[in-house]
Structures are given as structure tokens and as C-alpha cells.
Amino acid sequence: MMLTNRALSRATLARQMLLERSGKSIVEAVDWLIGLQGQVSEGPYQGLWSRLDGFRHEDLTALIVARTLVRATSFRATLHLHTVDDLLGARPLVQPTLDRMWKSAFGNRRFGNNDVKAVHRAGVKLLDKQPMTGGQLGKALQAKFPEGEALAKSVLLQTKEILIQIPPTRIWGSGHAPIQTRAANWVSPPFKRTLQRDDLVRRYLRAYGPASVADMQSWSGISRLGETFAALGDELVTFEGEDGRVLYDLPDAPRPDADTPAPPRFLPDFDNLLLGFADRSRMMSAEDSKRLAASTRSFRAVLVDGTVAASWAIEVKKGAARLVVEPYRKLRKVEVGAVEKEGLAFLRFMEEGAASFDVEVSAIAE
């Protein structure tokens, strides 16, 4: 059976809690999504607001302070907000990727001829004394090992250890440089949790499917997953994409009709909905996919009718908050109205202390 990109969009939006907001708890949602992209401090807050009924900043902050949810490097060697079980379970699966990336980016050229194990041990001792920013850690290691770059040494510790970014940084309203400590200093034992590759495939398809092997490898940074998909055999069903790709799915997963209405949704920088696939045609045009690939700092997307149709930015001047939406295509009048309504709610969430709120949807030049 062939699934159109529009049908794939609806299936994924339903599983991502973006067709309609979910009544799941915050912890249930983070577990279901297998973490949220977290390079930007506000990202998980924004992503959960668009997915959950009644989401409040303080509720997520409380879970981070309570050490129920943690932010550290995991999939794709990028920061994610995870449950403790998922962070500790996923990290060994992505460790080979992290090791390769560090060696490629730093290696001997920037690390010098220092002994990797010696630098690693020294970094652990420093972090076990007190939490530190990456800059502080690099400076302290540089004092002990002058050859090479400080950055290469601090990133080595981020690669070899699970370094959790802890409060008072990385919570809503904090603009300070992230403070980090080793997982063993922050969460309760055991410090190793099991996450099997076959279970991860099932969970990925549950939250992101239908999808190809390449899609999951792109999302996770884990290689050779084709063997795991094949081993699951009859547990999975297969479909064909518009371009002939083989797409896998769980038999009982939701696949709504392609014409199911999809309301506007505002996504944070590099939301996993956009980074969860090697082929992003279900969510955006080829041109917008290139736009995402070329953007190294920000890609704040607005979904309209189930696909990326605009970007957003917020300006605050003298207490007046303004949300500017820049469409990539001409929006119909009814779409503009829906974007303005959702955008106003989003702006009030983002700038709740503002004196006034305004939403501007820019016009596309004819």
C-alpha cells in the first residue's frame, strides 16, 4: 500500500500530539517522544506547550529541579531533555557516534599529544568536586594539560561522560551559561539503564512512524539499524512512500485519513518533528528542507495544514510583545485567521509578563 506525503503528515502529527493537544502528563509526553530537542533552553517548554493541554512553564521547571527530567547529549550528538531512564539507556547506543565525532572534530590536531585517559580522569575529578560550565572545565583542564585546545578537552568529557546540565541554568527564564555535572552526581543509582535497540525501534515508530530505516538512523545517530528492523519481522507492517521508499510501522498505530484537518502549530528551534527523518517531505517542501539544512542557528517553524508554511519571531519593546509570522507561501484567509488565533495564545505563553500582545502575519509578495 502506498502512503502519500499528506497521509504520512497526518500519521506523524497524530503521534506527535500535534493534530490535537494531549492530556498526557509532562513525564508521559517526554517518555512517549523519547526526549525533546534541547539545544535552546526554552525549546522543550515551547514544544510541550504545542502538544499538551494546560501546559505551564513552572510544571516542567519543577520536574527538572526535582531531577525527574534531565538534559544532556544523546541522539544525533545533540542536547535532549529526557527521562532519566531514557537518557541512561540511550547513551550507550549513541556512544560510538559520539566517539567518532570527537575524534573527527578534535583528535590529535586540536587535542595535542595528551593522553586521553589521563585527561578524562582529571576531568572526572574536577566535575566530582563541583558542577562547572564547559568553559570552566576546559580552562581547568588546560592548566593541567597545556598542549592543545581547552575546548577539545572539555568536549572530551562531554563525549566520555553523561554530563547533565542542571538548574539554576537551562530552565525557563535563565540566560546563564549551562552548568553541568556527571550523571552519577545528579541522579539516583543505578547509573546504567537498559534500552534495547529493538525496543527503541518500536518506540520510534510509535511516535514518529511510518518511517524508513534511514529516517530512524538520521533521528538517532545510531547506525546499522536495518538489522534490527529485519529481526522484528512480522511485528512490523510495511508501506511504500510516494518515491518508492519502504516505510515500516506498528500494525495498530494511528494512520488518520489524509484529509484530517491539521490546526496551526508553533514549533521551537529544530523540533524533533523536523529532525526526526532523513526524508522530510511529509513535513516540508524540498526548498524548505534546504532552508533547514542551511540554518545553523534557528529554524522556528509554523505548521499550517500539516506542513511547514512559515517561520516565527518575537519582538518585545517597552513591554509590548509582537509575534511576527513570515509565510513561505500565500496563506488563505481562513489559514491567516487560524494562525493569528494560535499565535496570540503562543505569544501570551512566551511573554506572559508583557503589557500588550500583537500578532502580524506578513504578506507574500505577488
In this structure, the number of other CB atoms found within 10 A of the CB of residue 31 comes to 18
% of the chain exceeding 70 in pLDDT: 98
Whether residue 33 contacts residue 219, with contact meaning beta carbons closer than 8 Å, is answered with no
Least confident range of 27-36, 48-57, 232-241, 295-304: 295-304
Which of these, 211, 272, 293, lies nearest to 82 by C-alpha position? 272
In this structure, the number of other CB atoms found within 10 A of the CB of residue 342 comes to 20
pTM here?
A: 0.95
Which of these, 201, 221, 198, lies nearest to 212 by C-alpha position? 201
Q: pLDDT tens for residues 117-146?
A: 999 999 999 999 999 999 999 999 999 999
In this structure, the number of other CB atoms found within 10 A of the CB of residue 222 comes to 21
Whether residue 132 contacts residue 166, with contact meaning beta carbons closer than 8 Å, is answered with no
Least confident range of 66-80, 221-235, 243-257, 351-365: 351-365
| Residue-level pLDDT at 288 | 78
Task: Tell me which of 275 and 71 has the higher pLDDT.
Answer: 71
Q: Which residues pair with 83 in a beta bridge?
A: 69
In this structure, the number of other CB atoms found within 10 A of the CB of residue 331 comes to 23
| Residue-level pLDDT at 366 | 47
